[in-house]
Amino acid sequence: MTSFFTFAARTPVILASLIVSVAVGLAFTLVTSAMDGAPLLDMTSDAEIVRARLGSMSEEAKRAHFMGTLTLDIAYPLSLMTLLGGITYRFAPRAIAAPLALVSVVAALTDFAENASILLLLSGIDSLIEFKSLMTQIKFSLFTVAGVITLLCLLYGAGRRLFGRR
């Protein structure tokens, strides 16, 4: 895993991950517009809202959501994991860089589990609503933690650069 983080910590990879993350994030608007502007199932962890939203979706909306999840929502966690993990690994103290960067990987894996449950829900398997809701809560929590870790590592790196390596 450290070889991945070594790769992800390179400036061109960080910049590419940032660009891809922003582009994919913007592309999600195409999916929501194909769903009459309704939010994606990824955006709520409330099982009752998910159940109601699934019940009200047309087949066309389900198809658009399915394709968006299968494409964009695979690329997005990969690019975000690479961005957050790369920055963290680059600027964190060497002794703890890999474990801190690993949080972004676990967040992305949780997002993939959520995506799989959404694909099955959109295919008519309603028994996974509670699992999907749990994965959404964990995903948002882990990406928030990964983001805070990344920000702290950026501040640490800036401090080292400004005040010397002490």
Contact 83, 9 (CB under 8 A): no
Residue among 88, 87, 97, 96 nearest 11 (CA): 87
Q: What is the pTM of this model?
A: 0.92
Separation of alpha carbons 76 and 60, rounded Å = 23
pLDDT in tens, the chain (166 residues): 789 999 999 999 999 999 999 999 999 999 998 887 888 999 999 999 999 999 999 999 999 999 999 999 999 999 999 999 999 999 999 999 999 999 999 999 999 999 999 999 999 998 999 999 999 999 999 999 999 999 999 999 999 989 876 5
Separation of alpha carbons 53 and 48, rounded Å = 8
What is the model's pLDDT at position 28? 93
Separation of alpha carbons 83 and 117, rounded Å = 25
The SS3 assignment for 92 reads: coil
Residue among 71, 70, 88 nearest 20 (CA): 71
| Tokens matching residue 84 | 């957050």
Residue among 77, 72, 94 nearest 146 (CA): 77
Q: What is the pLDDT of residues 59-75, one digit of tens each?
A: 999 999 999 999 999 99
What is the model's pLDDT at position 166? 55
Quick one: 52 exposed, middle or buried, by C-beta within 10 A (0-12, 13-18, 19+)?
A: exposed
